[in-house]
Structure 1
Amino acid sequence: MSDNEPGWRLHEGRLLLYGDWTLAHYARLHAGIASLMVPEIRSLDGSQLNRLDTAGAGLLWQRLGEQLLVLLNNASGLGDGQLALLLAVAEGMNGRESSSSLKAHWSDGLARLGEYVLSAWLQGRMLLGFTGLTLSTGLSLLFHPRQWRITALVVQMHQCGLNAVPIVALLTFLVGAVVAFLGATVLANFGATIYTVDLVAYSFLREFGVLLTAILLAGRTASAFTAQLGSMKVNQELDALRAQGLDPIALLVLPRVLALLLTLPLLTFIAMLSGLLGGAVVGLLSLDISPAQYLAIVQEVPVRHLLIGLGKAPLFALLIALIGCLEGFKVSGSARSVGEHTTSSVVQSIFVVILLDAIAALFLMEMGW
């Protein structure tokens, strides 16, 4: 065996390097170092190491990884040049791997962002197409009264509207009281607590009344639509309807859309009254504002704010109903899919409602309305 022949020995946790760890012996070193038991190494001995270049140092880093930096802290027998070369290679390779992992992290993030954008685009196109299909079906049935599903419409109005009155009224009453409390706390510093009435009136007539109602129905009604239609698809009831020559859009979607279009404005009006009532209770108990005085101030609010709030309701109702029904039709045929699309319908409905409300608020502010 030549003195320059490279190799290593591991004895009682001590790794002994010998020979020439250079590029000329790279292939042999690469094949032999694969059997090195890294977890057993506790110290490094280079007393019999003749020559070392970047190829040999790179091999040690590939096998030992970051442990090489730990071993170099108490290594023995290495010359100053060899120790400096190993440190430089180890630090350089460690920095390059960190940079590579960072680049991979950023590339993965960009890939996920692209997937989300593409998914949102496809969902928007699908929703637009479903909206057109629903409207065209509704127009085709408009002049055929015998095909109207009055019973189904009344049932859906009862479920979507009447059953939702208690929760809508209670929630908006509490939010109205909270807004009044906050307004009174801030305005008291300026001696203008009387303007708490205007704060509650403007906020509920323009924004909170319709927004809170739409969010509640997005969580309550959109999820119900998705679960109902998804369960029907899982049980192959939709296929049975088509086999009988019945249109699921006319039979299932239109009654739900029309029911929400009719009930959401009414629920919005109830929410406005409940919010104003909550502010009135706070004004009476904490601000010494009598109900007559409170009502007189509310009557001075321009009626256009009421119309703006009510005008948003049909648009929100249409989108909530369409998203709920569309997600129901997208169920693939399992209980897990029903749950996933139900969650998706709620998230999409709330997101769309808040987004459109923000856009409408900016537009109306720029128009001076």
Structure 2
Amino acid sequence: MTGTMTGQAVKAGKPAPLPPWSPRWIVTTAAVGTAVLRQMVRPVTWRRPVRMEFMRFMAISGLQSIPAVTITAVLAGLGLLSQALYWLEQVGQNDEITQIILTILVREVAPLTVGLLAIGRSGLIILSELSRMREEGRLRALDAQGLDPLLLLVLPRVLALSLSTFCLTILFVAVAPLAGMLAALALGIVRQPVDQVLLNILSIIGSAGYLILPLKSLSIGFLIGLAACVTALEQGAGRDEAATTLLPSGFFRALLLTLVVNGLLSAMV
């Protein structure tokens, strides 16, 4: 038991459904996020059930999302980098065009695209699982056994989604330039050696690009998981209302948090 106000809020009875965006929801989400950050560094938190739930959701949010992220990265690479390499040859080695496109790809497109995919898959899975557990009374059963749902249900899902979003973003950044480069070579747009093109891409992205990438992806995944968990555990809707109130509210909140944190970090770095 954590003894925090967050754990008590998670284990409480069914509250009245909140609007998609409210000060009360913001405060609750901030409290749950703070509790997750505090508990994640405690070794006693990572007992066997928590580790098993973490690994299970890592497989759901990470491994099972690899095909979708790979296909999206290939399409992005074909659309953006092939154009960058084309104009690089046409304008006469104009590095500014390539630098702008690569910066947009790494800093903006990659974390935001993976975040949107995470909302549409992992976020909705969290909403569905936790709302069903709440409706079936399994949260009350955990409370009666002296187990904290914050540790068993919320923490492993939020951290697993955050880590898997980071890994998938790295995959996106690795696949997209490779797809664009191969397409440009196949079409005869560039005639430079493959290793030279890759070195140019890595140098153009720069240290700032590689710094903001993990910061954005980890934050986006964390907030998506947090929004989905808090929404599912606060809703008092039944099974019939879940599709019309819970899922849209959770999707809207996760999407808004993703856009906000992406914009703030882009403005700061």
Q: TM-score range by the shorter chain?
A: 0.7 to 0.9
Q: Report the CA distance shift for 1:277/1:120 in structure 2 as closer, same or farther (over 3 A).
A: farther
Query: In the alignment, which residue of structure 1 is the partner of 2:112?
Result: 211
Contact 1:206–1:308 under 8 Å retained in 2: yes
Query: In the alignment, which residue of structure 2 is the partner of 1:307?
Result: 211
Q: Report the CA distance shift for 1:296/1:138 in structure 2 as closer, same or farther (over 3 A).
A: closer
Q: Which amino acid aligns with 1:217?
A: A
Q: Which amino acid aligns with 2:144?
A: A
Query: In the alignment, which residue of structure 1 is the partner of 2:230?
Result: 326
- Alignment RMSD, CA only? 2.7
Higher mean displacement: 151-160 or 278-287: 278-287
Other structure's SS at 2:147 match: coil
Q: Which residue of 122, 129, 132 maps to 2:24?
A: 122
Query: In the alignment, which residue of structure 2 is the partner of 1:235?
Result: 136
Other structure's SS at 2:236 match: coil
Contact 2:85–2:190 under 8 Å retained in 1: no
How many angstroms apart in 2 are the aligned matches of 1:354 and 1:333? 27
* Structure whose alpha-carbon radius of gyration is higher: 1
- State the 1:192 CA deviation: 4.7
Contact 2:124–2:247 under 8 Å retained in 1: yes
- State the 1:316 CA deviation: 1.2
- State the 1:142 CA deviation: 3.0
Query: In the alignment, which residue of structure 2 is the partner of 1:132?
Result: 34
Q: TM-score, normalised by structure 2?
A: 0.81
Q: Report the CA distance shift for 1:262/1:288 in structure 2 as closer, same or farther (over 3 A).
A: same
Contact 1:180–1:196 under 8 Å retained in 2: no
Query: In the alignment, which residue of structure 2 is the partner of 1:54?
Result: none
Q: Report the CA distance shift for 1:328/1:274 in structure 2 as closer, same or farther (over 3 A).
A: same
Q: Report the CA distance shift for 1:236/1:201 in structure 2 as closer, same or farther (over 3 A).
A: same
Paired residues, what number? 248
Instruction: List runs of 5+ in structure 1 lacking aligned partners.
Output: 1-114, 365-369
Q: Deviations over 1:284-309 (max 9, x none)?
A: 13313442332131132323311211
User: What does 1:76-95 align with in structure 2 at a 5 Å threshold?
Assistant: none
Q: Which residue of 151, 154, 171 maps to 1:250?
A: 151
Query: In the alignment, which residue of structure 1 is the partner of 2:259?
Result: 354
As a proportion of its length, which structure holds more strand? 1
Q: Report the CA distance shift for 1:182/1:337 in structure 2 as closer, same or farther (over 3 A).
A: farther
Q: Report the CA distance shift for 1:147/1:309 in structure 2 as closer, same or farther (over 3 A).
A: same
How many angstroms apart in 1 are the aligned matches of 2:48 and 2:146? 13
Contact 1:176–1:200 under 8 Å retained in 2: no
How many angstroms apart in 2 are the aligned matches of 1:146 and 1:233? 23
How many angstroms apart in 1 are the aligned matches of 2:69 and 2:134? 31
- State the 1:267 CA deviation: 1.0
Contact 2:39–2:45 under 8 Å retained in 1: no
Q: Which amino acid aligns with 1:296?
A: L
Q: Deviations over 1:80-116 (max 9, x none)?
A: xxxxxxxxxxxxxxxxxxxxxxxxxxxxxxxxxxx98
How many angstroms apart in 2 are the aligned matches of 1:285 and 1:197? 19
Query: In the alignment, which residue of structure 2 is the partner of 1:292?
Result: 195
Q: Which amino acid aligns with 1:359?
A: L
How many angstroms apart in 2 are the aligned matches of 1:131 and 1:171? 30
- State the 1:249 CA deviation: 0.8
Contact 2:87–2:97 under 8 Å retained in 1: no
- State the 1:181 CA deviation: 4.6
Q: Which residue of 148, 154, 173 maps to 2:74?
A: 173
Query: In the alignment, which residue of structure 2 is the partner of 1:202?
Result: 103
Other structure's SS at 1:332 match: coil
- State the 1:342 CA deviation: 1.7
How many angstroms apart in 2 are the aligned matches of 1:183 and 1:293? 15
How many angstroms apart in 1 are the aligned matches of 2:76 and 2:235? 36
Contact 1:264–1:314 under 8 Å retained in 2: yes
How many angstroms apart in 2 are the aligned matches of 1:322 and 1:276? 31
As a proportion of its length, which structure holds more helix? 2
Query: In the alignment, which residue of structure 2 is the partner of 1:70?
Result: none
Instruction: List runs of 5+ in structure 2 lacking aligned partners.
Output: 1-17
How many angstroms apart in 1 are the aligned matches of 2:201 and 2:21? 45
Q: Which residue of 136, 143, 150 maps to 2:51?
A: 150
- State the 1:137 CA deviation: 4.3
Other structure's SS at 1:300 match: helix
How many angstroms apart in 2 are the aligned matches of 1:195 and 1:280? 17
Other structure's SS at 2:22 match: helix
- State the 1:338 CA deviation: 2.1
- State the 1:262 CA deviation: 2.2
Other structure's SS at 1:246 match: coil
Query: In the alignment, which residue of structure 1 is the partner of 2:125?
Result: 224
